[in-house]
Amino acid sequence: MLVNKLAIDGNTPVRTLPMPARCLITEAEKTAVIHVLDEAIASGIAFGYNGKYEQQYEKHFVDFMGGGFADGVNSGTNALFCALGGLQLDALSEVIVPPITDPGGVMPVLFAGCVPVFADSDPRSYNTNAEQIEKVMTERTKAIIVAHIAGEAADMEPIMKLAQKHNLYVIEDCAQAHGAKYKGKFVGSIGHIGAFSTMFGKHHCTGGQGGILYTQYENLHWQCKRFADRGKPFNLDGRNGNIVAGINCNSNDLAAAIGIAQITRLPDVIGKRKQLAQIVDHELAGCDKIRLGWQVPAADNVYWFLRFILETKSIKVDKELFCKAVEAEGIEGVIPTYRFINCEKEWFKQKAVFGKTGFPWNCSDYHGDRNPNFILTNAINVTNSHFNILINESYGEQEAQDIAAALKKVANAYSK
């Protein structure tokens, strides 16, 4: 029987070599960091923040995005926090948040004094869409956060139309999608503000942790920058002191030096990930049991990981066993379920935000649902039917072929 040929049953795997390491840090980053340290030693003046390296890095980022304004911060979570802070939303405003995202893509809403309201996903993807957003809009809604999960652009045009109609801000969470495009525009440049993570796992990094805010609106740029640095009066001639409350989310010049070295490689990183996805997609063509998940047709995606849909109706094992069998074929980083549905998590259910107060939901001035119970049916179904394979830009043609071969081998062996 074919099933006995699987590596999970003790047979030869598709791949015996380990998958290639990412090799994110190179001599270029080392040289850049040593240069900053050497300069500090020679001058006796420590490197700091908002200095020449951070300014250069922000300029490189803006050039990559084709113009606009950028501010380096210290995490993707804080990029979102500073975006919300910069928008100066009234307390208890509702902010629509993504169905499936890292907790750092939702939690900042609460610390900005606002209330997160979860929109469901498109039934075919981890991302939300205009239809789902519209369903949860109220007169209290003031902003929408749209995440481009897995490096796949959300369907932005209908979302922007909806936002314009209701006078809402749109923040794009581009933590997983540096360089992805929608209808020819970079994600992060379509909404009012783009928030990027630059921690070490992302397409583009500034070290272990980091983030960057991007906008094409100069006033929003300065508002975010002031919020990110304790309300300093940036770009306000004649004003002194701290003009608005903010926090300290600053990046620093050492991180920026790494960012400069990294950003020159970003187009290559993106190109390699796209190529990998293309090969896998091509190799799976005609396979009715497994394929890449549906993507917005107008998107040019950058694949932080590969998202697959498994037609469980035609397979005789469950998705977890299927994934184990793929991994046994020598494919690393097979993640059976991406259930980052934040409204299901304990912190949300227990309203564990500001001690035992239940704030903001229990606040007498809040007139929305005090005990929200979001059931995101599409998000649940889509996380149940899909699984992910982690990739990196060191993967080449061979790795793409091996991923596709392992998937097809396991799908055929477990075919009903």
Determine, following the binding rule CB under 6 A, whether residue 388 of this chain makes contact with ligand PLP.
Answer: no
Pick 169 or 340: Cβ nearer ligand PLP? 340
Nearer to ligand PLP, 86 or 105 (CB): 105
- Our finding on whether 104 is near ligand PLP (CB under 6 A) is yes
What contacts 387, CB < 8 A, 6 or more positions away? 307, 308, 310, 319, 322, 323, 334, 335, 336, 337, 338
Instruction: Pick the binder of ligand PLP from 29, 94, 102, 399 (CB under 6 A).
Output: 102
Contacts of 289 (CB under 8 A, 6+ apart): 310, 311, 314, 315, 411, 415
Please state the closest distance from residue 60 (CB atom) to ligand PLP, in A.
Answer: 19
User: Residue 341 Cβ, how far from ligand PLP at the closest point, in Å?
Assistant: 13
Q: Are 353 and 115 in contact (CB under 8 A)?
A: no
Residue type, 236: L
Could you identify the residue written with the tokens 């995101």?
A: 376
| Contact in structure between 198 and 252 (CB atoms under 8 Å) | no
**Rounded to the nearest whole angstrom, what is the least distance from the CB of residue 305 to ligand PLP in the complex?**
10
Give the residue with the Cβ less far from ligand PLP, 227 or 414.
Answer: 227
Q: 212 vs 328, which CB is nearer to ligand PLP?
A: 212
Site residue total, ligand PLP (CB under 6 A)? 14
Report which DSSP code applies to 217. -
CB 410 within 8 A of CB 325: yes
**Hey, what amino acid is at 112?**
A
The answer to whether 83 and 93 have CB atoms below 8 angstroms apart is no
CA neighbours closer than 13 Å in the CB half-sphere of residue 101: 34
What tokens appear for 371 in the block?
A: 């005990």
Using the rule CB under 6 A, give the single segment among 17-25, 73-81, 86-94, 386-394 that binds ligand PLP. Answer: 73-81
86 binds ligand PLP (CB under 6 A): no
The residue from 76, 85, 151, 246 that contacts ligand PLP (CB under 6 A) is: 76
Considering only the stretches 100-108, 254-262, 311-319, 384-392, report the one whose residues sit in contact with ligand PLP under the rule CB under 6 A: 100-108
State which of positions 155-214 bind ligand PLP (CB under 6 A).
173, 175-176, 197, 199, 211
Stretch 117-156: interaction string toward ligand PLP, x if CB under 6 A? ------------------------------x---------
- Shortest Å, Cβ 216 to ligand PLP: 21
CB 198 to ligand PLP: min, Å: 7
- The answer to whether residues 191 and 172 touch, using CB atoms and an 8 Å cutoff, is yes
CA–CA separation, 228 and 33 (whole Å): 24
Task: Give the residue nearest to ligand PLP (CB).
Answer: 76
Q: Is residue 235 a contact partner of residue 224, using CB atoms and an 8 Å limit? A: no
99 binds ligand PLP (CB under 6 A): no
Beta strands in 76-168 (DSSP E): 94-97, 115-118, 141-147
Binding-site ranges for ligand PLP (CB under 6 A) = 75-77, 101-102, 104-105, 147, 173, 175-176, 197, 199, 211
